[in-house]
Amino acid sequence: MLRRERAHVEEAPGRGPLGGHHERPDARAKVSGSTRYVADLALPGMLHAAVAVAPVASARVSGLDLASARAVDGVEAVLTAADIPGRNLVGVIFEDQPLLAREKVRMVGERLALVAARTPEAAWAAAHLVHADLEPLPAVHDPVQALEPDAPRVHDAGNLIRTFRVVRGDTARARASVVVEAEYRVGGQEHAYLEPQGCLAIPEGRQRITIVASCQCPFYVQHAVARVLGLPLAAVRVEQAPTGGGFGGKEDYPSEPAACAAVLAFATARPVRFVLPRELDMQVSSKRHAMVIRHRWGADRSGHLRFAEVETVLDAGAYIGISTVVAERANVSSIGPYHVPAVRVSTRVAYTNNLFGGAFRGFGTPQVTWAAEATMDRLARACSLDPLEFRRRNLLDDRRRRLCTGQSLRRPVLARECLERAVALAGWDEFHARPRRQEGPMREGMGIGLALYGCNLHHGGQHLDRSSAVVILQPDGSVVVRVGLTEMGQGNLAACQTIAAQALGVEPAHVQVWQPDTTTVGDSGPTVASRGAHASGMAILNAVDRLRKKLDPVAAELLECGERDVELAGGFARVRTDPDHRVPIARLAGEMASRRIEGISTGWYRSRKRRFDPVTGLGDPYEFYAVACHIARVVVDAELGLVRVTEVSAAHDVGKVIHRDVLEGQIQGGIVQGTGWGTSEELKLDRGRLCNPSFTDYIIPTAADVPSIRIAVVESEGPGGPFGAKGIGEPSLIPTAAAVRNAVVEALGLEIDRLPLTPPTIVEALGNRHPFAWVAEEERVRGRSEEVAAGR
C-alpha cells in the first residue's frame, strides 16, 4: 500500500510539477523509438551464438579441442582467441580482461570459445563439446586473504589493485569517551533484470557493423566492439533495444556479449544473435561488490561524534571492470550525512577468483552506508541514547555543512528535514512508547537508515560527465527529441519528454523521445549515477536555448513585440506582458519551415569543473548531493530467523519533481530491491562457482513481500539539474537495507554484522546470543569505553 504525503514546497493549484500550466505527461505517449526486443529479432540467414566457458576458477589453458564442436550439424563457426581480428580486450577501464582466454582462466565462466550455428540448440550443443585441457592452479576467494603476501596471485602484478583514502583531521588525537569497533561482511547481489543479456550483431561486409543490444551504455558497447574488430568508432553503430531493467548490470557487461556476437558476425558475414540463458547469465555477469568493512568510531559523553576510522576491502573478482570507480564512490561515502571532525578512511580493491563485481544501483554506497548506520546504532547504545536522538545530534545541516572530504554542502542541507519527515510518517515515538509486541517467538523492531548520495559522476569520472541531445521542431509543431542516455524502466525518457515539453511550451503528448543510437547523438557517457534525467535534461535545455535563437525572432515578428518579450507556454508563443496576444506554436513552426529556417538544434551538457585531491581524498568529489532517510518496521521470528518487513517510511530530498509518478515508482522499486538485498538475496559461492544461479534458489522479493510504503517528498530551491531536479534512482535503494538491519537488531537485542539477514544468519547469531553490553574504561589522556561485541 502506498501512502502519499504532499511535497515540502506545495504546488500551486492547477499547475504542473515544474510550475508550468501543462498537463501531466500522457502515459500513452510514445517515448521509445525502438520496439526491437533482442529475443524477438529474426533476420534472414541469422545465426545463433553460444559460448564455451571454464568450469574452474583458476587454471592454465594447455589446449582446446574443437573437433567435436565443429562436427555438430548446423554449426557455422567455432572461434578462439586466435580468430579475433582486432585486440582481444574488453576491459572498460583497465586492459586486464580478454574477450576469450588464451593462456589462463581466472574465474568460473571465463570464455574459452565462441560458436555460431543455425539454431540455438545446435550452438549450445557444440559449445558443450568444446574440450579444454585445463591445469588447475591455486585460487583465492576471500578478499582480505587475497591481500596477504603469500596469497595466490590472480594477476602477475599482485592482488592489490588500488587504495583510496580520505584523511582529514587527526583521529589519533581526537578526544572520545566512547569508542566502538566492528567488522562487517557485506554480501553481493544479483541484478535480476527482467531479460537476460542479449544482443544482435548485423555486419555490413567487413567495413561496418550494427549492434542492437539490451544495454545501459551504448557508447561503451561501441568502443568495445570497435576494439575487438579493429574498426574506427564511426564504423560501429549501437542501437539500444528496449531494456527491461538494468540496475547497473547492463552498464559495463553488455560490451562482452556484444563483442562476442560481433566477432562471430564478422567471421561468418551473417547476422548473429546472442542471448544468455538465465543460469549462465547469473554465473558470468557482474554483481554488486562484496565488501569487508572495519570500523572504529568514537563519540564524546554528550553523544557527538569525534572521529571515525574505516577500513574497507572490496572484492573486485577476477577482473577490474569498473571496481575502482565503485571503490572511489564508496570511499568518500563511508561516513554518511554526519558531522565528524576527524576522519581516516582506507578503501582497498582486491583481485580474487570470484565472480567479478560491477556497477549496481548505489555504486558502492549501499555497502558502506549499511556499515555506517550499524555503527551509528552501536554508538547510540554505547552513549545510552535513542538512535534517533543520536542522529539528531550529529546530522549535517545548514550550520554544519562540511563533509568528510572537506567539501561544504550547498544550502539547503535537508538531512534533518528528511529524518523528521520519515520519523513522523513511521510513527517512531508512538511505536517506542507502547509495549513491544511479543507473541510467542515473534519480535517487532524499528530501525533508521540515512544516506548521503553524490549526484552524477565522481570527480575521477568527470571526463565522462557529458550529455548530448537533438531537438527537432516539426512543421506541425510536434517535437522529436533524441538523447544519448538510455531508458531501462527508470523513466528517463518520460522525464526527457516532460522537460522538453516544459521548455518549448507544448503538451507532453506532442513530444516524441527516441531511444539512443550512437549515430544520431554524441557520446553521452554512461547512464549511471542517477544522471539520466539530470544530464539528458540539461542537454535538452541547451538545445532548446539554441533553437529559440532561431524561433524567437520569427515569433517576435508575428507578435509584433521584442524578442525578449516572447514566451512559450500552453501550446502558444505569446507576449510575456500580454498572454492573450499569442500565436499557436504549430503556426510558428509552419512559418519557420516555409521560410526554410532550420528547426533542428543540438544541445550539450558537461558538469562544472571541480577540485579534488585523490591522494588525501579531500575536495569536491560531487557537484551536489541528495539525502534520504528510510525507517523500516519489521517482525522477526526468533525461532526460525525469518524477517518480514512490514512497513518502510521514506523521505527524500529530490530538488524539484519532474514527473511525480516516475519519482514515486523509483522510490518503491528501490525499497523493494533494497529489502531483498538486506534479507534474502544471498550469492552462495563454492570455490568461485555460483551455487544458486536461478530464481528458484536465489530468492528475490515477490509481490507478497512488498511492505507498506509511505513516501514524503522534500522539494527545495537548492542546487540540482534541470529545473533543480536531483537523482532518485539510487538514493531510493541505499538506506533501505541499513534500516532493516537496525530494526532486526532492535527486535532481537543483539548485533548482527553480516548481510543479508537470511534465516541461517539470524539463527546462528541467536545461537551465539550475547545481549548488548559495554565496559567503561577511563584513561588518563582520554576516556574511552569499548563495546563488548556480541559473540566475540
The model's pLDDT over 642-653, given as tens digits with 9 standing for 90+, comes to 999 999 999 999
Q: 487-534 pLDDT, tens per residue?
A: 888 888 889 999 999 999 999 999 999 989 999 999 888 888 778 788
- Arithmetic mean of pLDDT over the chain: 91
The predicted pLDDT at position 12 comes to 30
Q: 347-367 pLDDT, tens per residue?
A: 999 999 999 999 999 999 999
- Indicate the class that CATH gives domain 466-606: alpha beta
| 690 pLDDT above the threshold of 70 | yes
Q: Which of 315, 72, 102, 82 is nearest to 188 (CA)?
A: 315
Rounded average pLDDT over 285-310: 98
d(CA 37, CA 671): 28
Q: 197-209 pLDDT, tens per residue?
A: 999 999 998 899 9
Give 478-517 as a 3 state SS string.
Answer: CEEEEECCCCCCCCHHHHHHHHHHHHHCCCHHHEEEECCE
Q: Determine which one of 76, 373, 730, 751 is catalytic.
A: 730
Q: Determine which one of 329, 482, 574, 582 is catalytic.
A: 329
Rounded average pLDDT over 563-587: 96
Query: Rounded to the nearest 10 degrees, how much is the dihedral formed by the CA atoms of 414, 419, 425, 431?
Result: -170
Least confident of 184-198, 432-446, 572-586, 634-648: 432-446
CB atoms < 10 A from the CB of 3, how many?
12
Is 110 one of the catalytic residues? no
- 670's enclosing H/E stretch is helix 660-679
Q: 202-246 pLDDT, tens per residue?
A: 999 889 999 999 999 999 999 999 999 999 999 999 999 988 889
149 versus 92: which is more confidently predicted? 149
What distances in angstroms separate CA 620 from CA 114, 163, 333, one per listed residue? 45, 19, 12
Rounded average pLDDT over 127-138: 98
Is 329 one of the catalytic residues? yes
Q: Contact, 72 vs 114, CB < 8 A?
A: no
| 152 pLDDT above the threshold of 80 | yes
Q: Tell me phi and psi for residue 575, to 5 degrees.
A: -80, 130
The predicted pLDDT at position 30 comes to 43
Q: What's the CATH number for 428-446+624-792?
A: 3.30.365.10
pLDDT above 70 coverage of the chain, percent: 92
The predicted pLDDT at position 264 comes to 98
CATH 3.30.365.10 maps onto the chain at 428-446+624-792, 466-606
Residue 296 pairs with which residues in a beta bridge? 181, 309
- Count CA atoms within 13 Å of residue 172 on its CB side: 1
Cα angle at 321 between 536 and 185, to 5 degrees?
Answer: 105
Q: 221: Cβ–Cβ under 8 A, 6 or more apart, which residues?
A: 199, 211, 213, 215, 238, 254, 255, 258
